[in-house]
Structure 1
Amino acid sequence: MAGKKSYVIIPGAGGVPWDWHLVEDELRRHGHDVVAVDLPNDDPSAGLAEYADAVVRAAAGRTDIVLVAHSLGGFTAPLVCERIPVARMVLVAAMLPAPGESPGDWWQNTGHSAVMAERERLDGGPPDESVLFHHDVPPELAAESVARGRAQADGPFGRPWPLPHWPQVPTSFLLCRDDRLFPAAWLRGLVRERLGIEPEEMDGGHCAFLSRPRELAERVMRLSGA
């Protein structure tokens, strides 16, 4: 092993630390320090700044930090890089903001709304959330995830992303080929456009941390040099 890392995991919208418990187990099995952040994502008064505050508190005292950010966590991770030393970001099926763009505007600006509208037209209606998020997750885990999940508050969605550019921190992007929320063909183009890198790809849907935790952990470790 290249050395002990501190993995600080930023869940997506409505996500809770439990979502990542299987990945945490794998990372700890390899000797790493791990914490999944408990975000104030059910608090309507909390925005991206408060989410970043929670991550900074969780990372306190840790060294050789790798931020692992999922979905909406892609808006928060770069803010954390401006406040504490971060060795690397690994973005997993993450939203990629542009300067001044709010999470609420991101869907239209990136073409995601158009992609999903076309899918709804072809499918004859909007997809069920279980199809979007848990189609490849074992049923018992999917049920527990739904039971433990939070209703994501609107706090961050109307506030612009405050950075003038992405931080100068080594960054990798892990794309899930079977993601039904962020279709792979569309997301590949967004990663190239906004980060200027080629994404790493693996099988699995948007919640690969529950459907493929061992593979996800192994890829995160490899991308972070562990």
Structure 2
Amino acid sequence: MSTYVLIHGGGDVGWSWHLVAAELQRRGHEVVAPDLPGDDDSATLTDYADAVVEAVGDRTDVVVVGHSFGGFTAPLVADRLGAGLLVMVAAMIPAPGEAPGDWNRNTGCDEAVRAQAARDGGRTGHADPHVSFYHDVPRALADEALGKERAHPSPAAMREPWPLAAWPAVPTRFVLCSEDRCFPPDFFRRLAAERLGVVPDEIAAGHCVALGHPAELAELLESYR
């Protein structure tokens, strides 16, 4: 039995993982999916990592999974807990000393979004989250997710340089969503190779894969073990 530590993305809460958590628990694992500090302008990346580490407590055999903005927190947690595995799911991949607020510009993400939007009729980066984030999530479930949104991450976290001097010495996998309209698939294929030296595993899903395709995601996570 492993302990899966599931870290949500920006504006989100631990609830976003509830369907994946149920799949993993059905397989006999423990799951920790805390709400990171929200609605707190002073909260830092370190505060986010502290909240996760506290929620994990003394559990062992840890697999850390980060989604979207959770990519800035998940490696910090994996490093501190000595995790056996780190999985980035459609997640931002930070570089040492890089502030989240600089990430889009540094990585070329904004240009990639504009290029994909030109190809798909403006669906990528669309202002309506039902189009850009939740297009393959059942409408009622998407509406429930939108009703849980909070102010996260904070302005302080967006300005804070990522504190690790190097990527943690933890085996790392990257899950790419091939129908992602937030972070274009071709962009993540390139970035995963450049920053992690890995070829992503792909799921035919949009950005919010944990709500749209929870069984497939859980099965892929299990395959890594």
1:50 correspondence with 2:47: yes
Partner in structure 1 of residue 36 of structure 2:
39
Quote how far apart the aligned CAs of 1:41 are: 3.0
- Matching residue's letter, 2:105: Q
- Tell me which of 15, 20, 28 is aligned to 1:18: 15
Separation in 2 of the partners of 1:107 and 1:41? 22
SS in 1 for 2:95: coil
Cα distance change of structure 1 residues 164 and 138 upon mapping to structure 2, 3 Å threshold: same
Q: Report the Cα offset of residue 68 of structure 1.
A: 0.7
Q: Deviations over 1:95-116 (max 9, x none)?
A: 0011111110000110001122
**Letter of the 1:150 counterpart:** R
Unaligned runs of 5+ in 2: none
Matched, 1:88 2:85: yes
State how far apart, in whole Å, the 1-side matches of 2:39 and 2:220 are.
30
Deviation at 1:139, TM superposition (A): 0.3
Residue 197 to residue 119, structure 1, CA distance change in 2 (3 Å) = closer
Corresponding residue of 1:175: 176
Q: Secondary structure at the match of 2:137?
A: coil
Whole-Å separation in 2 of the counterparts to 1:105 and 1:141 = 32
The alignment-based identity, stated in percent, is 51
2:138 aligns with: 138
| Structure-2 change in CA distance of 1:104 and 1:24 (3 Å) | same
Does the 8 Å contact 1:8/1:67 carry over to 2? yes
**Cα offset for 1:119?**
4.3
Counterpart amino acid of residue 36 in structure 1: A
1:120 deviation in Å? 5.0
- Give the AA of the match of 1:109: N
Q: Which SS does the other structure have where 1:83 is aligned?
A: helix
What do you get for the CA RMSD once the two structures are aligned?
Answer: 1.5
Q: Deviations 1:183-213 (Å, cap 9, x if unpaired)?
A: 1111100000000011111110110111101
State the 1:47 CA deviation: 1.0
Is the alpha carbon distance of 1:59 and 1:131 closer, same or farther for their aligned partners in structure 2, counting shifts above 3 Å? same
2:113 corresponds to which of 110, 116, 123 = 116
Report the Cα distance in structure 1 between the residues aligned to 2:10 and 2:99, rounded to whole angstroms.
Answer: 14
Report the equivalent of 2:149: 149
8 Å contact from structure 1 (residues 13, 41) kept in 2: no
Aligned residue identity for 2:144: E
Structure 1: stretches of 5+ with no match in the other structure: none
Contact 2:79-2:169 at 8 Å conserved across structures = no
Instruction: Please say if 1:191 is aligned against 2:192.
Output: yes
Deviations 1:44-92 (A, max 9, x none): 1101000000110011111100001001111111112332221110110
Q: Please tell me whether residue 27 in structure 1 is matched to residue 27 in structure 2.
A: no
Report the residue type matching 2:98 in the other structure: E
CA contact (8 A) 2:88 2:172 kept: yes
Distance of 1:203 and 1:121 partners within structure 2: 21
Greater Cα shift, 108-117 or 193-202? 108-117
After TM superposition, the score normalised by the length of structure 1 is 0.93
Q: Render the CA deviation track for 1:117-144: whole Å, top value 9, x for unaligned.
A: 3345564696122211101100010000
How many residues of Structure 1 are paired with residues of Structure 2 in the alignment?
221
Distance (whole Å) between structure 2 residues aligned to residue 192 and residue 124 of structure 1: 27
Task: Compute the displacement of 1:164 (Å).
Answer: 1.3
